Structure 1
Amino acid sequence: MDRAVDAAGLAANGAVDLSLWALFLQADIVVKTVMIGLLLASVWVWAIIFEKVATLRRVNGRADAFEDNFWSGKNLEDLYEGVRDTPRHPMEAVFAAAMREWQRSAPKLEHAPDAVRESTRERIERAMTITIQREMERLERWMIFLASVGSAAPFIGLFGTVWGIMNSFAAIATMRNTNLTVVAPGIAEALFATAIGLAAAIPAVLAYNKISTDLGRYAGRLEAFAGEFGAILSRQAYEPRS
């Protein structure tokens, strides 16, 4: 209640400060905790957004260069030698996983029955599928945080708002004064908590939707490459070896 008395005293002297910094300083420990938590979440949201945007731009650019090199007619063995130990992006990792499995099986395919060739094809496809899943899990890291902030931040801010309004009603009861200058600081700081919650949630929701779409598009690109490369290796498995 001391805060209510202080607010009333300031109001009487015409010294009510409703700047954002003043609202934060005047807030009680619960509302301050809500504000600080939401501000930290907002900073982390923007860090994730910048990191994801930069990562997607990088992996798409490297995938473009790799596909140009892949479809240029370069020998697959030579291409594999350049990426086998340190794939630099998901598409190279998919290619390396398939070639690793192919090199293990290819020497046994010359006089192998069709069942063995089909088993080889399935192992190659499985290796590429597992690699795609692993690489996409790595790219999707922290996406759940964006979704959580987008859904929870408005309610956390609303909790701070409700708490602040409760303090304002307590001030009315204590001072027996319904003058707006008495309750304005408490209401303002309460609404400030909601504003911070929305400021954290809106970018998180928009970024989650956009980045999820881009990640899904990139996953489709990897799956298309895996399908095309799997078909190439499957044809080679059935071709007579010289």
Structure 2
Amino acid sequence: MHFLAAFNIWEIFLRCDIVGQVITTSLAVSSIIAWGVMFGKRNDLRQLRLLNLAFEQHLRDQRTLLDLPESYRNKRSIPYGDLFADAIDAYWRAAEIGKQKGIDTAQYRLEHTENALQRALARQILRYESSMVFLASIVSGAPFMGLLGTVWGVMEAFSAISVQQTASIQTLAPGVSAALLTTIAGLVVAIPSVFGYNYLFASNKRLITELENYASSLADRIELESQ
């Protein structure tokens, strides 16, 4: 039964004109890419969260952050590690410049540290949100591409009827079925992408909130240690 359904779909695809076949093929390729992006993004976010939690727990076990060895600043592949490295580097760079200019104060160092944290935070948020624009484009664009193929196919079907000067279900059905194939293809691409996008959007929002909370707690701890 499934074999016959697949065979019928293939037959309908072959009845499409070049425009319908191009649209259907494009949607099929987009579907494969979208599934790959969704699974890849989900795995990346899960791995990053595990690395973040492990790094944060390791920092909690340290008595001081400002005097940690250089090796702790080489974990920039981890979002939390990137924020930590930028914050500590900015703190000591501000201390060095402040001594040279005679303005070395805790407030001066903390201002540079907070600015560095904000820049690192924005950079990591962009990292979290990568590939989301592509999925959003698939979600919004696939149904319209399917609709375009359907309108084009129906127009071609009625054009063929006007040439043959006969209007029957036998002459109309093949063209209409071929036209509707693009609508089905558009929905098959868009529906899973909607659920995948919403799931990834919620995961991104949670990770960004955790990242902001970590940046805030890191700034507080550096401020307390600098007093």
TM range (shorter): 0.7 to 0.9
Which of 79, 83, 100 is the matching residue for 2:72? 83
Shift of 1:74: 5.1
1:188 to 2:174 alignment: no
The TM-score, its normalising length taken from structure 2, stands at 0.87
Q: Which amino acid aligns with 1:59?
A: L
Aligned alpha-carbon RMSD (Å): 2.5
Report the secondary structure of 2:166's partner residue: coil
Which of 173, 177, 186 is the matching residue for 2:166? 177
Shift of 1:97: 0.8
Q: Which amino acid aligns with 1:232?
A: R
Bigger mean CA offset, 34-43 vs 99-108 = 99-108
C-alpha separation in 1, matches of 2:22 and 2:193: 20
Report the secondary structure of 2:74's partner residue: coil
Number of matched pairs: 221
Q: Which amino acid aligns with 2:70?
A: E
CA contact (8 A) 1:24 1:32 kept: yes
Q: Which has the larger radius of gyration?
A: 1
CA contact (8 A) 1:164 1:186 kept: yes
- Matched with 1:71 is 60
CA contact (8 A) 2:27 2:185 kept: yes
- Matched with 1:234 is 223
- Matched with 2:3 is none
Which of 184, 187, 191 is the matching residue for 1:198? 187
C-alpha separation in 2, matches of 1:51 and 1:132: 22
CA contact (8 A) 1:121 1:234 kept: yes
1:43 to 2:48 alignment: no
- Matched with 2:85 is 96
C-alpha separation in 2, matches of 1:18 and 1:169: 25
After superposition, give the CA deviation of every residue in 1:120-147 in whole Å (9 maximum; x if it has no partner). Answer: 2121111111111112212212211111
C-alpha separation in 2, matches of 1:173 and 1:104: 79
Report the secondary structure of 1:177's partner residue: coil
CA contact (8 A) 2:20 2:182 kept: yes
C-alpha separation in 2, matches of 1:117 and 1:87: 26
- Matched with 2:15 is 26
Which of 133, 142, 155 is the matching residue for 1:153? 142
The TM-score, its normalising length taken from structure 1, stands at 0.82
Shift of 1:79: 5.1
Shift of 1:197: 0.7
Report the secondary structure of 1:19's partner residue: helix
CA contact (8 A) 2:150 2:180 kept: yes
Greater than 6 Å deviation, 4+ residue runs: 107-110, 112-115
C-alpha separation in 1, matches of 2:69 and 2:132: 32
